[in-house]
Structure 1
Amino acid sequence: MPSTTLQEDFVSPGQIAALVAAGAFLLLVLLLAIPLIKLGRTLDEATIAIRKAHVNSDPIFSGANTTITHVNTQLERVDGITADARAVTGNVSALTSLFTATLGGPLVKAAALSWGLSKAVRARRKAADAPAGRHGRRRGRR
């Protein structure tokens, strides 16, 4: 039987500390591996989503480009209509000024004359239809 010494049968405190440190390091590596694996999966999903968005964005951009082209065409038409409306407004304004200058003054004078004549004729008829007074003269309204 081989003889063993007392020191060989026991583990030294330095070896125990090394074993505890190695176990703690292994536990730390295992605990950090799980979030790293989940983070890797999340990054893979994000990469796939970005690729899908890039592929699906081309039709959206081409549709938006077509829409903008149509809107620009309609805006050009509206600009033409607005310019025509501005020209018509200017023409109506000029025509109104011309009418007022040439016919407006004489028409107002003619209307005032006819109103005055009709009032005078009515007053004269009323005076003619009034009963005679004491002296044989008819009284009219003054």
Structure 2
Amino acid sequence: MSPGQIAALVAAGAFVLLVLLLAIPLIKLGRTLDEATVAIRKAHQNSDPLFDEANTTLTHVNTQLERVDGITANAKAVTGNVSALTSLFTATLGSPLVKVAALSYGVSKAVKARRKAAQEPNKHARRRPRKGGKR
């Protein structure tokens, strides 16, 4: 055997050793990819019922939102009616009612003042005699 043939045998042995060392991680990677494929398949199978339930839930939520929208519209109409009623009350009865309240307040103050004046002795009724003058 010539030195070239020996070198070729050593190189071939190193190449076989390199292929064997690289084959082990490649086999493990293939197993990992197989497990990932199985996991993805299971997740896909389990996601269908989840999406169906999510669609059902969204349908119910939309139904409830439509009801809330109707309630909100009714509340808006009631608010408008109350506002119109308040404006009508203010225009028709508000001003006269304020005038009547002011008049009754003034009358009650005047009556109280007269009663108080009637209960107290009249201070101005007695006059002092003038100095040096006739009475």
Task: Normalising by structure 1, report the TM-score.
Answer: 0.85
User: Runs (4+) of structure 1 moved beyond 4 Å?
Assistant: none
* Equivalent residue, structure 1, for 2:131: none
Where relative contact order (Cα < 8 A, 6+ residues apart) is larger, the structure is: 1
- The answer to whether 1:76 aligns with 2:66 is yes
Q: Distance in 2 between matches of 1:53 and 1:125?
A: 94
- The answer to whether 1:86 aligns with 2:79 is no
* Equivalent residue, structure 1, for 2:19: 29
- The answer to whether 1:18 aligns with 2:8 is yes
Larger Rg: 1
1:67-120 per-residue CA deviation (whole Å, 9 max, x = no partner) reads 000000000000000000000111111111111111111111000000000111
- Number of residue pairs aligned between Structure 1 and Structure 2: 125
Q: Distance in 2 between matches of 1:42 and 1:66?
A: 36
Q: Distance in 2 between matches of 1:100 and 1:36?
A: 89
* Equivalent residue, structure 1, for 2:132: none
* Equivalent residue, structure 2, for 1:134: 126
Amino acid at match of 1:33: A
Q: Distance in 1 between matches of 2:24 and 2:120?
A: 123
Shift of 1:121: 1.0
Q: Distance in 1 between matches of 2:33 and 2:120?
A: 113
- How many percent of aligned residue pairs carry the same amino acid? 84
Q: Distance in 1 between matches of 2:40 and 2:105?
A: 86
Partner secondary structure for residue 121 of structure 2: coil
Task: Normalising by structure 2, report the TM-score.
Answer: 0.89
Q: Any unmatched runs of 5+ in structure 1?
A: 1-10, 136-142
Q: Any unmatched runs of 5+ in structure 2?
A: 128-135
Q: Distance in 1 between matches of 2:47 and 2:115?
A: 92
